Amino acid sequence: MRTTGLLFCGWLLSTACLAAIDPTLLKPLASEDSESKIAAIAALAQAAPDEALPVLKALADDSLALAGERVVIVDGARVLDAASHTEIKPTPAATETIGINNRVRRELSGALAALRLFSTERAVRWQAAQELTLSADAKMLPLLDKALAVETDPEIRKRLQLAHAQASLGSTEAGVRLAAVRVLGESSDPNVRQMLLPLTEKRGDAWIEPDSAVRAAARTSIRSIEQRLAWADNLGRAFTGLSLGSILLLAALGLAITYGVMGVINMAHGELLMVGAYSAWVMQGVFRAYLPGAIDWYLLAALPVGFLSAALVGILMERIVIRHLYGRPLETLLATWGISLFLMQVARTLFGAQNVEVANPVWMAGGIEVLPNLMLPWNRIIIVGFSIAVLAVMWGILNLSRLGMFVRAVTQNRAMAGCVGVPTGRVDTLAFGLGAGIAGLGGVALSQIANVGPDMGQGYIVDSFMVVVLGGVGQLAGAVWAALGLGVFTKFLEGWTGAVVAKIVVLVFIIIFIQKRPQGLFALKGRFVES
């Protein structure tokens, strides 16, 4: 930061395009009194904004000093006269750095932001306008007026108008304050609301804002801002619920196949999510060790690894244990519960009992700022898109492929499908592997927004079963609507009642719904006979 500031100053000085500053404006910067320094900063910024920028940057970087009675800028081995921007020859033998406290530094930061409003680079002006939105005061009004007069970018002008309105709140004229309050009421920034609140309060027996019209306008503006903030909060909950529903969908798609085809209540399905998540962690480690330059692409390599790893575990489960328990749902439930405990212990042995760190790639960092209090993270946006892509592939497999035709036949009538030559045993294995692989993909996606550990799947197994039962056994459309609906509904409930009560309410709702409509949202077409 300091080096950058000095280089910038050096560039400005080397161009010899800056006029000299009146030395009387510079001397108060060296005063021991903070008030004198603050007044000098404001006076210098207003009187000579172009020439003041390198001087104030030097003050912020602790490179402004005194050489006798002269204010100078120390630039490495060179010493520059702060007033004329010329190098001093011979170099002064001793200089004394001009120090500033935190209060002066805050004022200086605001003044520098105001001066950067005149930069030729849009990014610099935008950053300065953002800083001033939270720190502008009445002393900056002249500079803000000048900036508004020359600024043509509509987004920056909007920010500057907010900063100007904030600075105008310190005006001694009630009309100016009233206009500022009305302008601020058009904002959606929670910081603006906090700024207006004191205008509606008392200090002792007296109102902080003496004018009743300004107080009334402040209350109206606060209500307007709160309405927009509430709208943004609801949008945020809906988006968070949509991303949660996307994860539930990836987890439930596998169950929709296995439970629909075989009627198996697989309590180890959550651990298949865990297998996929650990696959992402392993691939991250491989890329860090052998392909550090391509570390941001480890997630793409983790997708096939997660799918194949979970599919292999699922096939082994079906071939070794579940195949021998068809038709005995209670024993299958207990057996798969035991398998889930076994898989968790294997994970603890291989990877440790503590959660492991899976970092987001650079292209998944950050987000889209829709409103000042609403940021849509890229990792969740990408997960929603990924879920849609997996759903499209699953629809294609089940509706356009030979395997999908066999799966649908076994789901509707296992005995009849066997009679016409469908290899039901092989279909069971492939369907179980496919469902497990999709759960593995869900685990890879989940690793980007949640902790990865041996117990991570336990929090999703019950919700996944609720999605399958609510949507209708074996129905992709039902799983989609149930997953997204439960995700959004749950997040809204959590905002009003808390996470625990929300879970209870959702469970009670599903129990009541199933009592009234046992087939779920979408009934299976055709004859279904349990084998």
Q: State the CATH number of the domain containing residue 509.
A: 1.10.3470
| 262 falls within a domain | yes
Task: Write down which residue in 120, 155, 184 finishes a domain.
Answer: 184
Q: Are 368 and 375 in contact (CB under 8 A)?
A: yes
Residue 442 contacts residue 247 (beta carbons within 8 Å)? yes
Could you tell me if 260 and 166 lie in one domain?
no
Under 8 Å CB-to-CB from 496, ≥6 apart: which residues? Answer: none
The residue assigned the tokens 């609801």 is: 234
Q: Residue 208 is encoded by which pair of tokens?
A: 């902080």
| Contact status, residue 60 vs residue 108, Cβ threshold 8 Å | yes
**Residue 278 and residue 346 in contact, taking contact as beta carbons nearer than 8 Å:** no
340 in the same domain as 478: yes
Is the domain of 285 the same as that of 374?
A: yes
Which of 122, 157, 184 terminates a domain? The answer is 184
Q: Does 207 map to a domain?
A: no
**CA nearest 260: which of 479, 531, 473, 514?**
473
Residues 329 and 438 in one domain: yes
Specify the DSSP class assigned to residue 172.
Answer: S
Do the domain assignments include residue 197?
no
Q: At what angle do helices 298-320 and 329-351 cross, to 10 degrees?
A: 140
- Nearest-angstrom CA–CA distance, 391 and 214: 55
Domain residue limits at 97: 2-184
The verdict on 152 and 248 lying in the same domain is no
Q: Which two tokens stand for residue 279?
A: 């696959």
In a domain, 253, yes or no: yes
In this structure, the answer to whether residues 86 and 151 fall within a common structural domain is: yes
List the chain pLDDT tens, one digit each, 531 residues. Answer: 444 444 444 444 443 445 678 777 888 888 888 888 888 887 877 776 777 788 888 888 888 888 887 888 888 778 888 888 788 888 787 788 888 888 888 878 878 877 788 888 888 888 888 877 767 777 778 878 888 888 888 888 888 888 888 888 888 888 888 988 888 888 887 888 888 888 888 888 889 888 889 899 999 999 998 888 888 888 888 888 888 888 888 888 878 777 766 677 788 888 999 999 999 999 999 999 998 889 989 999 999 999 999 999 999 998 898 888 877 878 888 898 999 999 999 999 999 888 888 888 988 888 888 777 788 889 889 998 998 999 899 888 888 888 888 887 877 777 888 888 888 778 888 888 988 999 999 999 989 888 899 988 887 888 888 888 887 765 677 778 888 888 888 888 887 777 778 878 888 888 888 777 877 776 555 444 444
**Do 470 and 370 have their domain in common?**
yes
Residue 54 sits at the vertex; the CA angle it makes with 9 and 146, to the nearest 5 degrees, is 135
Helix H or strand E encompassing 75: strand 70-75
Tell me whether residue 213 is in a domain: no
Question: Does residue 248 sit in the same domain as residue 330?
Answer: yes
The CA-atom distances, in angstroms, between 46 and each of 141, 262, 271, 447 are: 10, 79, 65, 53
Q: Measured between alpha carbons, how far is 53 from 64 in angstroms, rounded to an integer?
A: 12
Q: Is residue 58 located within the same domain as residue 136? A: yes
- Indicate whether 344 and 435 sit together in one domain: yes
Residues β-bridged to residue 67: 70
Is residue 524 classed as helix, strand or coil in its secondary structure? coil
The two beta strands, 206-207 and 367-371, are unpaired
In a domain, 288, yes or no: yes
Residue 398 lies in a domain: yes
Q: How many domains does the chain have?
A: 2
Task: Say if 217 falls within a structural domain.
Answer: no
Residue 89 DSSP symbol: S
d(CA 383, CA 403): 27
Helices (H), 352-475: 378-400, 402-412, 414-419, 424-446, 458-471
Q: Are residues 159 and 264 in the same domain?
A: no
182-215 in b/e burial notation, b at 16+ Cβ within 10 A? bbbbebbbbebbebbeebbeeeeeeeebebeebb
Domain boundary among 149, 184, 219: 184
Tell whether 172 and 306 lie within a shared domain: no
Instruction: Count Cα atoms within 13 angstroms, Cβ side, for 145.
Output: 7
